[in-house]
Amino acid sequence: MESGKEKPAYTEACGIIELDPEDIKKLGVWRNTNVRVTSEFGSVIVKAIEATQGPHPGLGWIPMGPWANQIICPKTYSTGMPTFKGTPVTVEVANDEQVLGSIELVTLACRSE
């Protein structure tokens, strides 16, 4: 975070989803494969890793950053605060797709409009 958000270390730290070992089994993937996470609000490719701070079956965790912000609920319910947590998502295997770096991810999303 403080060593440069344009660097690969940021992608490795935040371009991930931590899933419970049970959920990884259910998904039928190896650890560290790329997955597509989709919510009502968007979709993003991240790397699925085994929960480092688990167990928490049924709960996926993407660290705060541009990857999570592709899919979280932007509604603020008149508080100014988007609903960053508790967004229902589906996770599917996306072996052939790449996790984008933070700068690329955000600029591509902005240009696609």
Partner 1 sequence: MGKIVTDVVCPFCGTLCDDLEVKLSDDGKEILEVYNACAIGATKFLHSQASDRLLRPRMQQDDGTWKEVSYDEAVEYTARILADAKKPLMYGWSSTSCEAQEVGAGIGEMVGAVMDNTATVCHGPSLIALQDVGMPSCTLGEIKNRADRVLFWGCNPVHAHPRHMSRYSIFPRGFFTGKGSKSRKVIVVDPRCTDSSKMADVHLQIQQGHDYELLDALRVAFKGKELPDVVAGIPKEKIYEAAETLKSGRFSVIFFGMGVTHSLGKNHNIDEAIAVTRDLNDYTKAAIMPMRGHYNVTGSGQVWGWQFGFPFCLDLSRGFARYNPGETSSNDLLRRDEVDAVFVLGSDPGAHFPISSVKKIAKLPSVCIDPHITPTSAVCKLHVPVAFVGIEVGGCAYRMDNVPIETRKVIDPPEGVLTDEEFLSRVSDRVKELKGV
**11 binding partner 1? (CB under 8 A):** no
Residue 14 or 28 having the CB closest to partner 1: 14
Binding mask 20-59 for partner 1 (x = CB under 8 A): ---------------------xx--------x-xxxx--x
Residue 81 or 96 having the CB closest to partner 1: 81
Nearest distance, CB of residue 47 and partner 1, angstroms = 18
Q: How far is residue 6 CA from its own chain's centroid?
A: 17
Beta strands in 6-98 (DSSP E): 16-19, 33-39, 42-50, 90-93
Is-contact 74 81, C-beta < 8 A? Answer: no
Report cis status (omega within 30 of 0) of the bond before 55.
yes
Residue 52 or 95 having the CB closest to partner 1: 52
